[in-house]
Chains A and B, each alone.
Chain A
Amino acid sequence: MKRAIQELYLSAGKINRRHVQLLLAMVILSLLVLGAGAPAMEGGAGGG
């Protein structure tokens, strides 16, 4: 258990500012293109 916690702590330490920034940028860009784009019937067609 102690070892598992240590490993978790170590892997959490590897998540640096760059990873968080990358994740945030991906989320924001995904939302942005989802909101700005209007490809044909992505929400479903024929009463879907």
Chain B
Amino acid sequence: MILILGIAAGWLSGVIRSRITGTPYRVPEFSKIWLVLIAVFPQLLIFQIPYTAGWFSDTAAAAVLVISQLLLLVFIWFNRDKVGMCILGLGLILNLLVITLNGGLMPIASETAAALYPDVPSSTWEIGSRPGRSKNILLQPEDTRLALLSDSILLPEWFLWTRALSPGDLFIVLGVFWLLAVEKSAKPALPEIIPEYCEK
């Protein structure tokens, strides 16, 4: 949810900025968007839709997450001419690094999980298990490779939605905000007919 919030904040800032400068608000154009569709569709089935999530084992979920994020990295490579996309790519690399080094899922300490869900009995947080249909795996910090990059940043309690995220997630939020609020979009393409006129 915090990631979607970054999109909303970026769009709003971009619109306000365009009003102030008196220029029409434009978003950057992306190439190879089909890569995003192919990459994210399996993730939606495994992590987002409760009905289909049960069809997949934790091992399959881990494998799909890594492959899907690699595909997203390819998409980012094709769109690396945008600063925001490079920031977002850095976040993805950080997430992918810690996920890959820890078996394919994002590590989270049981203490962090308990802090997020104080009403859930601590016995629920079994080390090595995947809570619900999340992208997480419960690991002790001492058993986590690159624990610094895991879901270790706790947001204040007043924050309504996601309260724990990784440094990679922060870069992703920053990148998407930059894309929508700051990034200069490609100039509107001139009608294709103009070169024909020029030739004549």
Contacts and interface: CB of A to CB of B under 8 A. Distances in A.
Nearest to A48: B132
B163 interface: yes
A15 B99 CA distance: 42
Interface string A21-48: 1101110111111111111111111111
Contacts, number: 143
User: Per DSSP, are chain B's interface residues mostly helix, strand or loop, or mixed?
Assistant: helix
Contact of B134 (A29, A33, A45): A45
A40 B12 CA distance: 26
B162 A32 contact: no
A44 B2 CA distance: 15
A39 B2 contact: yes
A44 B180 CA distance: 29
Interface in B69-103: 69, 72, 75, 88, 91-92, 95, 99
Contacts of B168: 37-38
The 8 closest A-B pairs by CB, nearest first: A40-B164, A44-B132, A25-B27, A33-B3, A38-B106, A43-B133, A35-B40, A43-B134
